Structure 1
Amino acid sequence: MMELIIIILLIISVYFSARFFLLSKNIREIKQDFKEISKDIERNRRLTLGSPNKDLENLLIDINEYLEKTQIEKIKSTKREEEIRKEIENISHDLRTPLTSILGYLQLMKDEDVNEEEKIEYISIVERKSKSLQNLIQTFYDVSRLEANDYKINNEVIDIHKILMENLLLSYNNFQEKNINVEIDLGKEDVNILGDNKAMDRVFSNLIENAIKYSKSDFKVSLKVDNEKAIIIFQNDMEDLKEGDLDNLFNRFYMKDNSRHNQSSGLGLTVTKLLVEAMNGKIKSKIEDNFIEFKIEFGIYSN
């Protein structure tokens, strides 16, 4: 009888020793794996269990969920850091270009061989470049305020038909200089909405400037009223249109021409989208038959 008890105790002892050994082994392996994963958290790796253990399995589920969330946040953080770095580069480039030009002309004006007529011309150029620099800085500031919902919008009843027509007339010579054919379908009736007059003027001028800059030969604009909505559509043909460009059009500093040689900040469409949304409107883009289209919708104002 005593021998049987000893055998049973021995079996129990071996069983628990084996369990303890496997548990210790699992913990050591998990600890080592966790250290390796922590060194490169962005890799899609998870902790695994070498031998079955219900309590450890539940613990690893919780740890792996934490690792997944941490990896996602790390990837987002890395991407955002890269975006910030690129944005700083773009801002530096955009500010440096007119500033370098201003300093260059100021240096020329110090030359004793420069006559008065040339100095007057240089002063005029410096004034234009300074105004361009001022506008650029204001645009950066406006984007910051719009994204922080700190941009003041004075909503009142405005006639977008009138605002759009005025902007098109002001740009008439620019279209002619670039031999761009313009098709206008605005109707003759007032189209009233609740919006900010200055903001709407900026939206239309930005989209028209974008068309002048990138149109190959044709530009179309229409204004319709449908189901109590004002629908404005801008269309222009472009070369090398790609659907992938649509995903980035409204992003800050995005330009189809990454060389940034066209003196553009790449913020025009960003500001346009933010202003439209600040006035409770919608804007979207699409590509169809080699034309890029910007469609804006606003609710019609009715007494």
Structure 2
Amino acid sequence: MIFLVFILLFTSVYFSARFFLLSKNIQKATYDLQSINKDIGRNHRLTLSSPDKHMEELLYKINDYLEISQMENIKNLRKENEIRKEIENISHDLRTPLTSILGYLQLMQDEDTTEEEKAEYISIIERKSKYLQHLIQTFYDMSRLQANDYKLDIKSLDVNKKLMEQLLLFYNDFEEKNINVGINLGSEEANILCDEKSIERIFNNLISNATKYSKSTFKVNLVKINDKVEIIFKNDVYNLDSADEYEIFKPFYTKDKSRHDQSSGLGLTVAKLLIEAMNGSINCKINNDGFIEFRIILKLYETL
């Protein structure tokens, strides 16, 4: 009889203790979870106040969920900052030509403005308006490319011939800036499946960059390797280093933060998106000798 009472007493004490410890663990976990929810970005985790196998398994699952939530929160914050920065850049790029247009319109209303001056102002307004139109179209195209909603007219094209055509368009620009141009495209056709307007735009962006930022030399090579064609644009630059390789394709990236060079920083971003939309690739390398190199790789049509 005494032994039975002892067993019952022991069992009662044991389960009471277990209940007390479990209750304490739950209270602590509840309090900690409330604190974490107030600042989900902080790297806090739930812990036990006393050992309990089942409670430990539960907290392990909750901590996994918290880690995922915190990572998502960090990603969302970064994305918000990127969007905010992009809005700032778009506002700046649109505001600059628009402010200039409005300024010249006010000058034209001045009674002392001569007819000759008005004609000059109209020419400037037209130029700024076209630039503004180009910016808006670029923003729109980039948005559609990022959303995979950009329509491409894919057909066979000799990319060798197309590249030479685009290079000839910039002949005078290179001459005026005394930039030595080296071209090695070979004599063979290099047919690919692509959108012709997109290829023209890609080449135009890269060659235009070279005319703006080359110190003295610009080189273009095209070579067929197995089932692919590689096109390399290479020119010497003033103020880029290897750290810029990781930034150069990002939207609105420009070395001149004040944008005095009239660059929106979108040309290379759009070029990369267009190349990838046509199942190609582009990468950038900035060498120690002061040269920047863009390498485009596209699949040849003959081997498809």
TM category (shorter chain) comes to over 0.9
2: CA distance, partners of 1:57 / 1:173:
74
Q: How does 1:4-153 map to 2 (within 5 A)?
A: 4-153=3-152
Compute the displacement of 1:287 (Å).
2.1
* Equivalent position amino acid for 2:292 in 1: I
C-alpha deviations, 1:101-128, integer Å up to 9, x for none?
Answer: 0000011000111111111111010000
1: CA distance, partners of 2:258 / 2:77:
24
2:299 is equivalent to residue 299 of structure 1: yes
Compute the displacement of 1:82 (Å).
0.3
Compute the displacement of 1:246 (Å).
1.4
2:161 is equivalent to residue 166 of structure 1: no
1: CA distance, partners of 2:154 / 2:8:
86
Matched residue, 1:284: 283
Compute the displacement of 1:256 (Å).
2.1
Return the TM-score normalized by structure 2.
0.95
Structure 1 residue matching 2:301: 3-state secondary structure: coil
1: CA distance, partners of 2:181 / 2:150:
33
Matched residue, 1:207: 206
Structure 2 residue matching 1:296: 3-state secondary structure: strand
* Equivalent position amino acid for 1:102 in 2: I
* Equivalent position amino acid for 2:219 in 1: K
2: CA distance, partners of 1:190 / 1:110:
57
C-alpha deviations, 1:178-225, integer Å up to 9, x for none?
Answer: 332221111233322221211111000000111222222221111111
* Equivalent position amino acid for 2:23 in 1: S
Structure 1 residue matching 2:284: 3-state secondary structure: strand
Number of aligned residue pairs: 302
C-alpha deviations, 1:21-47, integer Å up to 9, x for none?
Answer: 111111111111111111211122211
C-alpha deviations, 1:54-107, integer Å up to 9, x for none?
Answer: 111111111011101100100000000000000000000000000000000011
1: CA distance, partners of 2:189 / 2:41:
56
Name structure 1 gaps, 5 residues minimum: none
2: CA distance, partners of 1:84 / 1:268:
18
1: CA distance, partners of 2:55 / 2:242:
48
Change (3 A) 1:240 1:119: closer
Return the TM-score normalized by structure 1.
0.95
Compute the displacement of 1:5 (Å).
2.8
1: CA distance, partners of 2:130 / 2:240:
33
1: CA distance, partners of 2:108 / 2:278:
46
1: CA distance, partners of 2:32 / 2:260:
50
| Greater shift in the superposed pair: 275-284 or 187-196 | 187-196
> Sequence identity, in percent?
64
2: CA distance, partners of 1:102 / 1:23:
72
* Equivalent position amino acid for 1:300 in 2: L
Matched residue, 2:229: 230
Structure 1 residue matching 2:151: 3-state secondary structure: coil
Q: How does 1:258-273 map to 2 (within 5 A)?
A: 258-273=257-272
| Greater shift in the superposed pair: 11-20 or 26-35 | 11-20
Matched residue, 1:275: 274
1: CA distance, partners of 2:157 / 2:248:
27
1: CA distance, partners of 2:6 / 2:23:
25
Structure 1 residue matching 2:164: 3-state secondary structure: helix
2: CA distance, partners of 1:243 / 1:39:
41
C-alpha deviations, 1:135-159, integer Å up to 9, x for none?
Answer: 0000001111111222111111212
Name structure 2 gaps, 5 residues minimum: none
2:224 is equivalent to residue 221 of structure 1: no
2: CA distance, partners of 1:188 / 1:11:
96
1: CA distance, partners of 2:293 / 2:258:
24
2: CA distance, partners of 1:163 / 1:131:
25
| Greater shift in the superposed pair: 3-12 or 56-65 | 3-12
